Copies of this chain bind each other. A is one copy, B any other.
Amino acid sequence: MHTMIVYVHVKQEYLEAFIQACKLNHEASVLESGNRRFDVLQSDEDSARLVLYEAYATATDAAAHKNTAHYRLWRDTVAEMMVEPRQGTPYQGLFPNT
């Protein structure tokens, strides 16, 4: 399982709009055949800190996500909503491993 933890710091005035954009991205992404996780998380300690936890069966599936219409719409919609560029950290999913 090919996974990515993406850390986002959202401008407070865009928080509701950012979450709505992520909801649409989540709903479409979980329908991708290679998708295993597309979880949208909000920090308990700072509501402007969100995490996207994305997992795909293979690196090819993860790359294909970047070519979907819903990813591109999300990317463009949220471009100005972040305090700083989002940071993604790649991980190998050991368990589960499919």
**A positions within 8 Å CB-CB of B:** 1, 3, 5, 19, 22-23, 26-27, 37-45, 51, 53, 55, 89-96
The dominant DSSP class at the A interface is strand
Instruction: Point out the residues of chain B lying under 8 angstroms from A26, CB to CB.
Output: 95-96
Instruction: Point out the residues of chain B lying under 8 angstroms from A5, CB to CB.
Output: 5, 41, 51, 53
A39-B3 CB under 8 A given contacts A26-B95, A53-B53, A95-B22: yes
Does the CB pair A91–B23 fall under 8 Å? Answer: no
Please pick, from B3, B42, B45, the residue contacting A41 in the complex, using a CB distance under 8 A: B3
A1 (CB) vs chain B CBs: closest residue: B39
Does the CB pair A39–B92 fall under 8 Å? Answer: no
